[in-house]
Amino acid sequence: MDEIELIKLLTRDLPGNDRVVVAAGDDCAALKGETSEELLLFKTDAIVEGIHFTAETPPEKIGRKALARCLSDIAAMAGSPTAALVTLALRADFDPARVESIYLGLNKLAREFNVAIVGGETTTNPGGILISISLLGRVESSKITLRSTAKLGDAIFVTGELGGSIDGKHLDFEPRLTQARWLADRFPLNSMIDLSDGLATDLKHVLDASKVGADLLSSAIPISRAARDVKARSANGKTPLSAALSDGEDFELLFTIPSKHAVPLNDTWKKQFPDLKLSCIGKTTETLGLRIRDRNSIHPMAIDGYVHFKKP
Amino acid sequence: MDEIELIKLLTRDLPGNDRVVVAAGDDCAALKGETSEELLLFKTDAIVEGIHFTAETPPEKIGRKALARCLSDIAAMAGSPTAALVTLALRADFDPARVESIYLGLNKLAREFNVAIVGGETTTNPGGILISISLLGRVESSKITLRSTAKLGDAIFVTGELGGSIDGKHLDFEPRLTQARWLADRFPLNSMIDLSDGLATDLKHVLDASKVGADLLSSAIPISRAARDVKARSANGKTPLSAALSDGEDFELLFTIPSKHAVPLNDTWKKQFPDLKLSCIGKTTETLGLRIRDRNSIHPMAIDGYVHFKKP
């Protein structure tokens, strides 16, 4: 049983109550606050030694990554983070200096985005370091961006350049909180998600939840320098394009917007964020499924993102 | 370095912001909501195979315990739980039926207390099962009960009977949410904590945070049947009283209240909760430290609760 089957099994019949606005299945859960104007965002994410980082990863970067992943999910809902709890599971013979450095990296990023660290827990874990972050945020009810609300005829955009994150970006990426807030304040976004499992997989999440399909233009996919690196590619057998489509941990934003806003968005974005690429990579379609178009043809796209517990 | 030293190291300089009302160090963090009337409670807690449960523990009880521990912390702040996220770290070769049963136990308890399960995460953990719960709750600003606000001359109360939880109660305990709300609605509680590390250790947390001492009356300590069990006691060498004072995972409430309310409280409690013992076990004192009085003498009490990472 892989992760997707397991999650399907476990989320069949989850308890709810009248506070829930967005339940399991989006980047964050959303709950009613005291008034109807603001929603609470609630997210948890864990990173594990041997999967998301190694014994050689600089500890500051481990702590930074643990929090940055959750911040990226708050960004995907167009929210602002407020406070986090940190659960740290350690071997009994942990190195206090390494643990302190993990915290230094985490706290530095927290200060950058005005996130309070309000507690957490330490416990023993025979298998190695596991860091789980719980993050609270907030968003105006009118501005929250979901996976399930893409519309037919939307233009599909991604920020940044994709693929090859494993070469370093997965430890250094900037959660796109500022960009997400800027977008939600100025443009009628129909849907948004952050790219954690790979463009094709994450876009598929949006399409499935929104009951639309999509055509992508292969020449429009922004391919990172790392994904173009010939040596890295020969190691895993992916072309630069397939790396950009399927590599995980890009932590860029993917969003859809009525196509008439595409040109004005592109123009104002360039002035606001001159150093961060924004690409219109395709459009939503009535025909379900995901297709990619190149000079000569259009063909269905294989989905191959990262899946936990996958049998080899 | 043990858990207490580690936490001291890690919490020296945590980032804060203007939303924080109660930071790290109490049962839950508390954050400002949109209005000044209600506070958000925020808590995380993890249980780990081999420490909090074993490979033989019935899986429903594992899931139940994971959530119940967090609910007990919300109770300690006199709050009501609203929504939880579940992080499940599993070996790659996990048993789906066992994992589903863990969820069944957890969901059942969630429904009992109207807690929505709004998502979470599954990830691989080479060392075995680790379940981390993040829980949100709320409490009126005027009713929140802290560890740090016990006053001189308070009567000290505990609910239930203490010690020997390892014989079964640690898997079946009832989080004292109803009792905590009832108390906070009717009596001017000065402080409250839930008993997770053992009466002596947890009371010490209250005393240290509140800068008072306490005298306990040994004959007033409510000793559970499990703590009186001769066979169990001969195994770990504790007397029934020392088991009641030092065994962890009782998950009862310990609270302090101006002593003039002690008698009315006892009377109304008996009518409201005839099946749950309430004991006045002592009083706070100006002299710092914790002392226990028996028929013949009063002497300082050794603190010996459960500490993670403790060197043998």
* CB within 8 Å: A6 and B127: no
Kindly state whether residue B148 falls inside one of the protein's structural domains. no
What pTM does this model have?
Answer: 0.93
Taking CB atoms and an 8 Å cutoff, what residues of chain B touch A119? 11, 23-26, 28-29, 42-44
At A33 the pLDDT is 83
A23 and A127 inside one domain: yes
Kindly state whether residue A307 falls inside one of the protein's structural domains. no
A8 and A123 inside one domain: yes
At A8 the pLDDT is 84
Among the partner-chain residues A89, A94, A118, the one whose CB lies closest to the CB of B23 is A118
Nearest alpha carbon to residue A201 among A129, A136, A290: A290
At B8 the pLDDT is 85
Kindly state whether residue A92 falls inside one of the protein's structural domains. yes
**What is the ipTM for the molecules in this complex?**
0.91
At B303 the pLDDT is 64
Of residues B274 and A302, which shows the higher confidence score?
B274
Kindly state whether residue B40 falls inside one of the protein's structural domains. yes
Each of the 312 residues of chain B gets a pLDDT tens digit; together they read 777 788 888 888 899 999 999 999 899 999 998 777 899 999 999 999 988 999 899 999 999 999 999 999 999 999 999 999 999 999 888 999 999 999 999 999 999 999 999 998 888 887 789 999 999 999 999 999 999 999 999 999 999 999 999 889 999 999 999 999 999 999 999 999 999 999 999 999 999 999 999 999 999 999 999 999 866 666 677 889 999 999 999 999 999 999 999 999 999 999 999 999 999 999 999 999 999 998 888 888 866 555 555 443
* CB within 8 Å: B44 and A85: yes
Last residue of a domain, one of B93, B115, B140: B140
Choose from A43-57, A235-249, B168-182, B223-237 the range with maximum mean pLDDT. B168-182
* CB within 8 Å: B136 and A309: no
Kindly state whether residue A305 falls inside one of the protein's structural domains. no
Taking CB atoms and an 8 Å cutoff, what residues of chain B touch A82? 17, 19, 31
* CB within 8 Å: B127 and A132: no
The CATH number of residue A71's host domain is: 3.30.1330.10
Q: Which residue of A has its CA nearest to B129?
A: A125
- Helix A177-186 crosses helix A59-76 at what angle (to 10 degrees)? 10
A164 and A80 inside one domain: no
Among the partner-chain residues B48, B110, B120, the one whose CB lies closest to the CB of A15 is B110
B215 and B97 inside one domain: no
Last residue of a domain, one of A85, A108, A140: A140
Taking CB atoms and an 8 Å cutoff, what residues of chain B touch A44? 85, 87, 119-121, 132, 134
Q: Which two tokens stand for residue A113?
A: 């985005």
DSSP state of A271: H
Specify the number of domains making up chain B: 2
Q: Rounded to 5 degrees, what are φ and ψ at B31?
A: -125, 150
What is the H or E stretch that residue A299 is in? strand A298-300
Distances (CA, A) of B224 to B65, B146, B216, B243: 20, 26, 17, 9
B187 and B290 inside one domain: yes
pLDDT in tens, A111-161: 999 999 999 888 888 778 999 999 999 999 999 999 999 999 999 999 999
What is the H or E stretch that residue A185 is in? helix A177-186
A99 and A237 inside one domain: no
At A41 the pLDDT is 97
Kindly state whether residue B149 falls inside one of the protein's structural domains. no
Q: Which pLDDT band holds residue A231 (cuts at 50, 70, 90)? A: low
Whether residue A13 is predicted with pLDDT greater than 70 in this model: the reply is yes
A210 and A246 inside one domain: yes
Residue A215, min C-alpha distance to chain B (Å): 30
Q: What is the mean pLDDT of residues A285-290?
A: 95
| A79: region left, alpha or beta (phi > 0 left; psi from -120 to 50 alpha) | beta
B268 and B161 inside one domain: yes
Residues facing residue B90 across a β-bridge: B124
Among the partner-chain residues A6, A19, A100, the one whose CB lies closest to the CB of B116 is A19
Residue A259, min C-alpha distance to chain B (Å): 32
**Residue B93 structural domain:** 3-140
B136 and B181 inside one domain: no
The CATH number of residue A268's host domain is: 3.90.650.10
B284 and B218 inside one domain: yes
Among the partner-chain residues B33, B107, B124, the one whose CB lies closest to the CB of A48 is B124
Q: What is the mean pLDDT of residues A152-176?
A: 95
Kindly state whether residue B134 falls inside one of the protein's structural domains. yes
Q: Which residue of A has its CA nearest to B108?
A: A15
Kindly state whether residue A149 falls inside one of the protein's structural domains. no
* CB within 8 Å: B96 and A37: no
How far is it, in rounded angstroms, from Cα A205 to Cα A199? 10
DSSP line for A3-49: HHHHHHHHTTT----TTEEE-BTBSSEEEE-SSSSEEEEEEEEEEEB
Q: Which pLDDT band holds residue A198 (cuts at 50, 70, 90)? A: very high
* CB within 8 Å: A24 and B119: yes
Last residue of a domain, one of A140, A165, A184: A140
CB B3 within 8 A of CB B311: no
A133 and A169 inside one domain: no
At B238 the pLDDT is 83
Interface A–B counts its CB contacts (< 8 A) at 237
At B19 the pLDDT is 94
A79 and A180 inside one domain: no
Residue A28, min C-alpha distance to chain B (Å): 8
* CB within 8 Å: B118 and A42: yes
